[in-house]
Amino acid sequence: LAPPRGVLGQVVAMEVLLENATPASVEYLVEAQPSELFLLAGYKSVKARVLPRSSLRIAFNLLPVTVGLLRPPLILLKWKKEGQDVQQAATTPRVFIQPPALT
């Protein structure tokens, strides 16, 4: 989940909410894919275990490099389900990045 807007040159925090509704813990690999529109500050890949019937938020810090209505980096989620590898891309809404205010 990214905020609806940000300012060029200022960090924009984007969160991924992992929910586990099963009776067993699930280990996720969360990866932010490279983007020409944002620099990633901090972790680009996170491995996290979500306990049964609980949720976990993972934050990524993005630094926009241009202005306009931008699509944040693609987030890939990977986990195992019944012994099989599963991969899914998380959908993210566009973010409006405005130029810094002139003083």
**pLDDT tens figures, 10-61:** 999 999 999 999 999 999 999 999 999 999 999 999 999 999 999 999 999 9
- pLDDT of residue 103 exceeding 80, the answer is no
* CA angle, residues 26, 55, 80, in degrees to nearest 5: 20
Higher pLDDT: 32 or 92? It is 32
CA distances from 97 to 10, 80, 84 (A): 10, 36, 39
**pTM metric for this prediction:** 0.83
Q: How far apart are CA 31 and CA 4, in angstroms?
A: 21
**DSSP letters along 48-71, please?**
EEE-TTEEEEEEEEEEE-S-EEEP
**pLDDT tens figures, 49-76:** 999 999 999 999 999 999 999 999 999 9
- As given in the structure block, the two tokens for residue 40 are 């990633």
